[in-house]
Amino acid sequence: MSQSIIPATIFNNIRIVLCQTSHPGNIGSAARAMKTMGLQHLYLVKPDKFPDAHATALSTGAADLLERAIVTETLSEALTDCAFAIGMSARKRYLSHETVGARVAAIEASKIATNQPIAFVFGTEMSGLSNAELDCCQMLAMIPANPEYSSLNLASAVQVMCYELRMAILEGKIDATEANELATNDALEGFYAHLEQTLLHIGYLNPAAPKKLSERLRRIYARARLEKEEVNLLRGVLTLTQEPRKHNKY
C-alpha cells in the first residue's frame, strides 16, 4: 500500500520525555529547543520543580509548550500509547540494548511516527536514565561526542536530537512504513506483567532471588520490537502455560 507522508503527522507523533529533571531552567530551555525544531509534546516525569518561574523565563517564546506539558509520576505513564521509546545515553551501556547514533535514531523513529506515537526519553542532568527507565525503552541513542568530555547540557542534547528529527523528516528520508502495527507501551507492560506472573506460577522465578530475570527478558523483547498481534500470540502462550496440564492433544 502506497501512502503519502505528511510531515505534520510525524512531528505530532513525537514526544520528548524528561525524567526527574533537577533544574527547572533546563525544562524551559528544552521546551525552547523543541519548538525551534517544530516539536510540541513535552512530558515531564517527576520533575523536581514544575511549574516554575525559571522554566518559563528560559522557554522564551515556547511557554505554550510548558503550559501544555504533561506531568506524570512514572515513565510508564508518560509512554502511554507509544509504540516505540528511544532512551538517550551518553555512552554505550548495555550490549543487550540496540544502541545507535542520533542520526540513525531520528530516521528509525520518524519512520514509526508516520503512523504511531513514539518517544525520546532523557534522564537526569547528573546521571542520565536509571536502569529501570532504560528497561522501558526499545532502543538507545547516543549523540557522538568528545570521549574526553561528553557532558552535553540537557537542553543541548534535546536540541541536537530534535534537529536530527527535523532533518530526517524534512529531508524526505522517511518512507511510509509498510510494517505491521507495533505494540503500544501499555500492551508491552501488560505482557511483561503477565510473563512475570507466569514465571512465578511455574516456579522459574524465585521472588527471593530474582537474578534480574525480568530485566533480561524485557531486553530480549525490547530488541524484538513486538507487533500488536505478536503480543496477543505470546500472551496466549502464557495463559495456556498457567492452565492445569491437560493431555497433549497432538
Nearest Cα neighbor of 32 from 68, 54, 60 is 60
The footprint of a copy of itself on this chain (CB under 8 A) covers a number of residues equal to 28
CB of 158 to a copy of itself, least distance (A): 9
Q: Which of 70, 152, 213, 217 binds a copy of itself (CB under 8 A)?
A: 152
Binding residue for a copy of itself, selected from 153, 180, 197, 232, defined by CB under 8 A: 153
Cell numbers standing for residue 164: 536530527
**CA neighbours within 13 Å on the CB side: how many for 86?**
32
* Of 118, 111, 117, 106, nearest in space to 174 by CA: 111
Interface characters, 88-107, with a copy of itself (x: CB under 8 A): ---------------x----
Instruction: Give min distance, CB of 171 to a copy of itself, in A.
Output: 9
Distances (CA, A) of 11 to 65, 113, 166: 14, 8, 8
User: In the bound complex, what is the minimum distance in angstroms from residue 146's beta carbon to a copy of itself?
Assistant: 4
Residue 109 to residue 245: CA distance in whole angstroms: 43
The verdict on 18 binding a copy of itself (CB under 8 A) reads no
35 binds a copy of itself, rule: CB under 8 A: yes
Residue 126 touching a copy of itself (CB under 8 A): no
Q: In sequence order, what are the beta bridge partners of 118?
A: 14, 84
Phi, psi for 155 (deg, rounded to 5): -65, -30
Q: Position 40: which residue type?
A: Q
Query: Are the CB atoms for 78 and 87 separated by under 8 Å?
Result: no
Q: Which of 2, 4, 127, 146 binds a copy of itself (CB under 8 A)?
A: 146
16 contacts 39 by C-beta, under 8 angstroms = yes
- What is the rounded end-to-end Cα distance, in angstroms, of the chain? 39
Choices 25-33, 81-89, 200-208, 228-236; region in contact with a copy of itself by CB under 8 A: 25-33
> Applying CB under 8 A, does 42 fall inside the site for a copy of itself?
no
Least distance from C-beta 129 to a copy of itself, angstroms? 18
Cα separation, 136 vs 79, in Å, equals 9
Question: Three-state SS for 42?
Answer: strand
| 29 in contact with a copy of itself (CB under 8 A) | yes
Binding to a copy of itself by residue 66, rule CB under 8 A?
A: no
Question: Which span sits near a copy of itself by CB under 8 A: 138-146, 187-195, 210-218, 229-237?
Answer: 138-146
Verify binding: residue 9, a copy of itself, rule CB under 8 A: no
| Least distance CB 152 / a copy of itself (angstroms) | 5
Which position among 94, 104, 163, 214 is part of the footprint of a copy of itself (CB under 8 A)?
163
Q: Contact between 32 and a copy of itself (CB under 8 A)? A: yes
Cis peptide before 51 (omega within 30 of 0): yes
Cell numbers placing 93: 551501556
Task: Work out how close the CB of 57 gets to a copy of itself at its nearest, in angstroms, rounded to a whole number.
Answer: 12
